[in-house]
Structure formats: structure tokens, C-alpha cells
């Protein structure tokens, strides 16, 4: 299920729509990096292309992290 969520980034409120599973992965990644979810989302927001929306950028970030993890497992 896709849910709309709100967050403050750089002092302004913004929203994104993302599935619960993607949000759970973002929280896990933030925890592993010892940072808040808001900080991780802010980093992703700053790095995304101007033509990309935040919701898509968050999903693509989770996908890239999953691929990185899988690749590291294959090397072991």
C-alpha cells in the first residue's frame, strides 16, 4: 500500500508517497548509518536530479542499496 507522508527538509514541509516496505528499508538503512530517517531522506533529496521526484528517488535509492548488498554477498 502506498501512503503519503510529510517531512521537513531544509526548513520546508514536503511530502512523498511510498510503500510501507520501502519506508521500512529506508529506516533500516538510516539505522545502519546511525542517522535519522529525516537526515537520510535529506541526503537523497539533495542528490537527486532536478527532473526526478522525491518518491521515485527514495525507491531508486533503496533499489541501489539492495543491489550493492547483493553484489557484496556474491563477492564473499
Find out whether 37 and 8 touch, Cβ atoms under 8 Å: no
Average pLDDT of every residue of the chain? 92
DSSP calls for 17-60: EEEHHHHHHHHHHHHHTT--HHHHHHHHHHHS-TTS-HHHHHHH
Domain spans of the chain?
2-75
Torsion of CA 69, 5, 48, 23, to 10 degrees: 0
pLDDT, one tens digit per residue, over 49-61 is 888 899 999 999 9
pLDDT at 37: 94
Amino acid at each position: 500500500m502506498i501512503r503519503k507522508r510529510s517531512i521537513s527538509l531544509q526548513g520546508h514541509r514536503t511530502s512523498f508517497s511510498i510503500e510501507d516496505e520501502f519506508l521500512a528499508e529506508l529506516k533500516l538503512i538510516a539505522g545502519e548509518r546511525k542517522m535519522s530517517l529525516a537526515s537520510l531522506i535529506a541526503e537523497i533529496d539533495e542528490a537527486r536530479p532536478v527532473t526526478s521526484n522525491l518518491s521515485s528517488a527514495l525507491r531508486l535509492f533503496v533499489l541501489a542499496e539492495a543491489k550493492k548488498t547483493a553484489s557484496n554477498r556474491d563477492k564473499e
